[in-house]
Amino acid sequence: MTQVERETLEVDVLFVGAGPACLSGALHLSKLVREHDEAIERGEATGEKLGDIEIAVIEKGVEVGMHLLSGAVFDPRALRELMPDFEDQGFPFESKVDADSVHYLSARRSFKLPITPPPLQNHGNYIVSLHKLGRWLGEKVEAAGINLFCGFAGAEILYDDSSGVVGVRTGDRGVDKNGEPKGNFEPGVDIRARITVLGEGARGSLTKQLIPTLGLERDSLPQIYSTGVKELWKLPEGTLKSGRVMHTMGFPNPSDLWGGGFIYNMDNDILSVGYVVGLDYKHPDTDPHMMFQRFKTHPMVAKLLEGGEVVAYGAKTLAEGGYYTMPRLYADGVLLVGESAGFLNAMRLKGIHLSMKSGMLAAEAIVDALATNDTSANALQGYQSRFEASWARDELYRVRNFRQGFDGGLFAGLVHTGFQMLSGGRGLFDRRRIEPDYTHMRKRTALDGTPAPARIKLDEKLTFKKLTDVYHAGTVHEEDQPCHLKIADFDICNNRCPDEYGNPCQHFCPASVYEMVEDQGGKRELFVNFTNCVHCKTCDIMDPYQIINWVTPEGGGGPKYVNM
């Protein structure tokens, strides 16, 4: 495509991604700016007033919340700080947690642990839909006069030699599959900002470029992930008591793999049921969606779903590596917040409260930077220092070795966890080296007896094909646009991977995007059904050759998560 003229929009602070981190950050920032100026007016503080600070949030989903998915059991600690009267302000929760339990599942039986381990005790927390929570926060953000632009995907980071990051270019719209402009072509906008805050969720597409470009990972261990797959089930009216939280270990996970199930009773007879699989698996046929389907066939789970029907589906990756895998959180003109930066406590299976807190801490550092008119890394390191002095750091530091302890499987992990809990998080080793997830996947010739994960026949009543589930994710992409899964070398996919790994993309993608199909001459080639993509990022993380690059599709495309 020839050079195009782009509009430029100037703002003071740009938040990229309307998730809990950026929405809380934007809201807190607008409040802090107001308080700063009022304190100067009253003569209680010195310095210049900040005046009209332009804050903007961009979001790739067509509406706020449509790309948000979580279990979710919510710890209100950060929200209470952001909005002490949150319940009076209409906080949309499903139920307060009034019962929790942990179960070990064998193939046919279940054993309820006599005591719920303290990290999984959830009294005082809330069962929420992250979609509803995001939508509600979005309304507060707009009411505070902050510009919220939905359907705008951050496609590229804008750099300046002297100032570092100076904003983000949004993606072009109306480009055909060959990259040529269509009749409705609209070039993306350069949103230039004094400070840019990236809060794109796990494996953010801009964040993953920024971190190595600026060397922000130099002192960190590599991030490691899981993929979570989830359905909402509508049960017969009046049959489900809301407020119960169940977690499971064991079936169908092999004992050498991290993972487990969750079942949360929401309001209106909706059951949230899901399964999380660690991506540090060995066998290339491992399929998180299939494991979730098998989980539902366990007698304990199947009984809970009796008489119900699936109404929604989704999948996401979780950045679980914890404190030692977090990158440096700041650089010239830019801050990293939320799960993009590793704010997730894998032991508690919670991250929303940490993401919110990260956004708020970023906002506090931003006010100081704006007040001194210094947006350099030197000024923005105030965010890192605030984090290091916060309860969020204490919470993450206490579990800093948790997920790595499961390297050797479930039982070794439970032993390590016990030692960590007795030693303030240290355990038997501190900061053990971990490798990126894809390096654990073995070639077919090196499986050394690792059994292939079992598959079951799907009945389309209790267990579903990926395509049936994708329908329930409501995912839509304009078909005539460039594929947003950029594959650097199809020759590897078609001629090398089939023998070496058996095209694992067909298995790890929970949305049937990747398919080996035969051409007319009988040769099998990879076909990429990108319109099915639910933006989980598993392929970007797990492709064994690291030749899949997930980039943002045209703004507005993707899943339409409601109540997820």
Binding site for ligand SF4 (CB under 6 A): 485, 509-511, 513, 533-539, 550
Nearer to ligand SF4, 269 or 515 (CB): 515
Residue in the structure block whose two tokens are 């030699």: 161
For residue 325, the Cα-to-chain-centroid distance in whole angstroms is 15
If the CB atoms of residues 171 and 308 are measured against ligand SF4, the closer one turns out to be 171
**Nearest Cα to Cα of residue 169 among 480, 521, 494, 551:** 551
521: which 2 tokens? 């001459």
Cβ contacts of 1 within 8 Å, gap of 6 or more: 175, 179, 180, 181
Quick one: 71 or 510, whose CB is closer to ligand SF4? 510
CB of residue 88 vs ligand SF4: minimum separation in angstroms? 39
Query: With respect to ligand SF4, which residue has the nearer C-beta, 380 or 513?
Result: 513
Nearest-approach distance from CB 483 to ligand SF4, in angstroms: 10
Q: What's the one-letter identity of residue 90?
A: G
In angstroms, what is the minimal distance from the CB of 39 to ligand SF4? Answer: 46
Nearer to ligand SF4, 27 or 509 (CB): 509
Distance CA 559, CA 534 (A): 5
Q: Smallest distance, Å, CB 537 to ligand SF4?
A: 5
CB nearer to ligand SF4: pick between 344 and 539: 539
In the bound state with ligand SF4, the residue whose beta carbon lies nearer, of 261 and 553, is 553
Closest to ligand SF4 by CB, 32 vs 533, is: 533
What is the CB neighbour count within 10 angstroms for residue 358?
35
367 vs 509, which CB is nearer to ligand SF4? 509
Q: How far apart are CA 545 and CA 117, in angstroms?
A: 39
Task: Find the radius of gyration of the CA atoms of the chain.
Answer: 23
Element (H, E) at 430: none
Asked whether the beta carbons of 110 and 249 are under 8 A apart, the reply is no
For strand 334-336 and strand 190-198, is the pairing parallel, antiparallel, or unpaired? parallel
**What are the φ/ψ torsions at residue 250 (nearest 5 degrees)?**
90, -140
What end-to-end distance do the CA atoms of the chain give, in Å?
38
The residue (of 431 and 465) whose beta carbon lies closer to ligand SF4 is 465
The pair of structure tokens assigned to 135 is 């939508």
Q: Are 1 and 182 in contact (CB under 8 A)?
A: no
> CB of residue 557 vs ligand SF4: minimum separation in angstroms?
11
Helix (H) or strand (E) run with residue 134 in it: helix 130-143
We find the least distance from the C-beta atom of residue 204 to ligand SF4, in angstroms, to be 12
Nearest distance from C-beta of residue 107 to ligand SF4, angstroms: 28
Please report, for residues 219, 228, 496, the alpha-carbon distance to residue 313 in angstroms, rounded to integers and kept in the order given. 37, 11, 33
C-alpha angle 404-410-414 in degrees, rounded to nearest 5: 75
**Residue 158 or residue 534: which is nearer to ligand SF4 going by CB?**
534
Query: Is the Cβ–Cβ distance between 153 and 200 less than 8 Å?
Result: no
Write down the least CB distance from residue 453 to ligand SF4, Å.
Answer: 17
Q: What is the token pair recorded at 138?
A: 């979005």
Least Cβ distance, residue 288 to ligand SF4 (angstroms): 9
Q: How far is the CB of 482 from ligand SF4 (least distance, A)?
A: 14
The count of C-alpha atoms lying within 13 angstroms of the C-alpha of 216, restricted to the half-sphere facing its C-beta, is: 25
**Beta carbon of residue 511, minimum distance to ligand SF4 (angstroms, whole number):** 4
Dihedral, 25, 30, 35, 40 alpha carbons, nearest 10: 120
Please compute, for residue 274, the number of CA atoms within 13 A of its CA located in the half-sphere on the CB side: 28
Q: Which phi and psi (to 5°) does residue 506 adopt? A: -65, -25
